[in-house]
Structure 1
Amino acid sequence: MTANTRIRIPDGLWTGLKKLGFNAQDLVRKAKMPLTVISESVVTVEQYYALWQAYSDMIGDSEAGMLQLPTVFETTQYPPSVLAAYHARDYRDALNRMARYKEMCPPEKLRIVEQDTNCVIELKWLETEQVGPALLVGTTLAFLLELGRRGTGYPIKASLVEFTHSFGQVQALEDYFGCPIHIGAKHNRLILQREDLDRPFTSYNAELLQILTPVLEQTLEEQRHSHSITEIVKWILKRNLTGERLDIQDVASELGMSERTLQRRLTDEKTSFKDLLKEVRHEQARQYLADPDLDIKEVAFLVGYKDHSSFYRAFRCWEGDTPLNWRTEHALIDERQG
């Protein structure tokens, strides 16, 4: 899943922007992109971010922008993956479908964890070096809540919303989400009351789901196979490293295959799960260490080491030096090059 991944823009986005008074051509020009993007509706990650940034610049009010678009996006304009969520059995089913089929429309990923009385939905980026614009983050989280409200017909409120970005007008966000808003957080999260996930969808359509689900599952499978198994496993590892001990069983389960099958396919590509885990940790460690704002203990955690001394030993094996010395040396190199 590289920065060259192609993203299809749903027609409903252009329609929604038009309802808000924005001309698609003006938006595309603002993003410094060819007008053919409007008809083709297929862009790269960089172009996708540029479009959202252009929308943010044009509207001049990020808070209003992120709340308006989800509400004017008509259900008849939903792409098939979202349509399957809207016609799900209940809110839980809808969110799980959104998370599953989001894989077909990068660059973001949804991670859902139900714990105690809460359901935490975290928005992550497939390309960790590229963080999506604030307006995209807010719109995505607002849409997840809007989906539950439309499907259930009930004014569901969140328990808490966290943004890594800062916003000037938090009150508007609190009014919409119906809960406190934390800005400057470590993660982008929508936290719901777990009991709301049991609310049935009045829009539930079993017959339509019988048609949509097989097609979406086939598309998802084809998309996964369009990349080598090595690429896919590395992608999964990168988005699940943080503070977790991920083993081959977890990855095989996510891919819908047995551990033995995954091992065989990796062997066919002349690699192993253990080698890929080391490779991913090494790549991510170098990337995180290049950020002077991250403490080395934080870096250790981000690449999956709960014990920072184990991270030091591993890094010395990779680079022949300590993380601190490596960071200092590369900072000097960057300074000379700059």
Structure 2
Amino acid sequence: MSYVTSLFARKMVAAAGDGPDAAALLASVGIDADAPWDPKAMIPAGAYYTMLERLAGEVDATNLPVRVGASMRCDEYGALGLAWKAAPDLRGSLSRVERYARLWTSVVRYELRPDPRGVLYVIHRPGERRLGMRLSNETTLVATVALARQVSPAPVTPVEVKVQHAAPDAVTSHEDWFGCPVRWGAEVDAILFCHEALSQSNILGDEGISRYLLSHLDAELGGLREDVSLVAEARAAIAQTLSEGAPKMARVARQLGLSVRSFHRRLAEHGVSFQTLTEETRRDLAEGLLRDDAHSLAEIAFLTGFSEQSAFTRAFKRWMGVTPASYRKERLKR
């Protein structure tokens, strides 16, 4: 499964204003609205896109990516944000994201690519170009420029911004923010920076702090690889036991050869809880089973650990904003 940091979801919901039910939207991706903000807490990318699509159904989301991206601050990204600030120049900052972005997302890969006019900062995000992904991509592009402007001694204006999907209904706010041409329907999602902008010394660049932060990030990245494997194994164990009802943490921990305490601690280090992992597994399994008509809704409810179809329907509507029957009907039409 692909993950993104919960920070993005919280920012999106906050920027949407008082109209939408913020707590319900955040709960749909497994976030407790009253809990402290933690960029290390991860949420499934697919669920995040679905949340954005629900949000777009309640408010005009045309300019939402610009508002959210512009509000991002280096310090909100933890050690990686500090490493961005401490890099010697903007090229160094972008290189650190290229290397360590896995700490805040498993769905996006970043690349610095030479270009005749400078360097392209390319955002690789595979998958269906659904509305939620499009909004997320636009936000990432805006946020990158926002973070660049926070560390550079002179104003940073890209040479050009490229966006793979078609332009939204209005693009004035995007163009005003970037201050350069925005090419929609391009071959990649990317920002083109000139060499001069990339070579400006960062305001807070510090070689000593950089060495310390990079060693910390290397260790964190190594630990993340181990925990991702654990999460994948835990999801598989949960899926195997769902047909017997809601899985018990003690049983899953035992299957993985861990004590309950160790299992809880290692999941927490990866920013997920057993309850959240169970919800994600149920949701993903339900979505997969609903994409064809091989199983009845009652059978899917049983296979995903619900004792009654009505309980499954309520849970699925909370996750996706629609009933299982409506979701299946829409998918089978495609």
Q: TM-score, structure 2 length as denominator? A: 0.58
- The answer (yes or no) to whether the contact 1:17–1:24 under 8 Å persists in 2 is no
Q: Distance in 2 between matches of 1:111 and 1:71?
A: 22
1:126-167 superposed Cα distances (whole Å, 9 cap, x missing partner): x43576522211110111111211101322111111212221
For 1:79, what is the secondary structure of its paired residue? helix
Q: Which runs of 5+ in 1 are unaligned?
A: 232-335
Q: Distance in 1 between matches of 2:333 and 2:58?
A: 35
Residue aligning to 1:149:
149
Distance verdict in 2 for CA 1:43–1:23, change over 3 Å:
farther
> Match of 2:61, as an amino acid?
D
Distance verdict in 2 for CA 1:32–1:76, change over 3 Å:
closer
1:218 aligns with 2:215: no
Aligned length: 225
For 1:14, what is the secondary structure of its paired residue? helix
Shift of 1:109: 1.2
- The answer (yes or no) to whether the contact 2:112–2:120 under 8 Å persists in 1 is yes
For 1:52, what is the secondary structure of its paired residue? helix
Q: Distance in 2 between matches of 1:161 and 1:173?
A: 10
Q: Distance in 1 between matches of 2:216 and 2:52?
A: 29
Q: 1:14 aligns with which of 10, 18, 37?
A: 10
Q: Distance in 1 between matches of 2:196 and 2:26?
A: 42
Select the structure with the greater relative contact order (CA < 8 A; seq sep ≥ 6): 2
The alignment-based identity, stated in percent, is 18
CA RMSD of aligned residues (A): 3.2
Q: 2:28 aligns with which of 33, 53, 71?
A: 33
Shift of 1:21: 5.8
Q: Distance in 1 between matches of 2:333 and 2:11?
A: 46
Residue aligning to 1:77:
76
Query: Which residues of 2 match residues 36-115 of structure 1 at below 5 A?
Result: 36-38=31-33, 39=35, 41-62=41-62, 64-104=63-103, 105-115=105-115
Shift of 1:337: 11
Structure 1 stretch displaced more, 177-186 or 22-31: 22-31
- The answer (yes or no) to whether the contact 2:88–2:201 under 8 Å persists in 1 is yes
1:201-256 superposed Cα distances (whole Å, 9 cap, x missing partner): 1022444333321121112223345678xx9xxxxxxxxxxxxxxxxxxxxxxxxx
- The answer (yes or no) to whether the contact 1:53–1:133 under 8 Å persists in 2 is no
- The answer (yes or no) to whether the contact 1:27–1:54 under 8 Å persists in 2 is no
- The answer (yes or no) to whether the contact 1:174–1:181 under 8 Å persists in 2 is yes
Q: Which runs of 5+ in 2 are unaligned?
A: 233-331
Shift of 1:48: 2.3
For 1:47, what is the secondary structure of its paired residue? helix
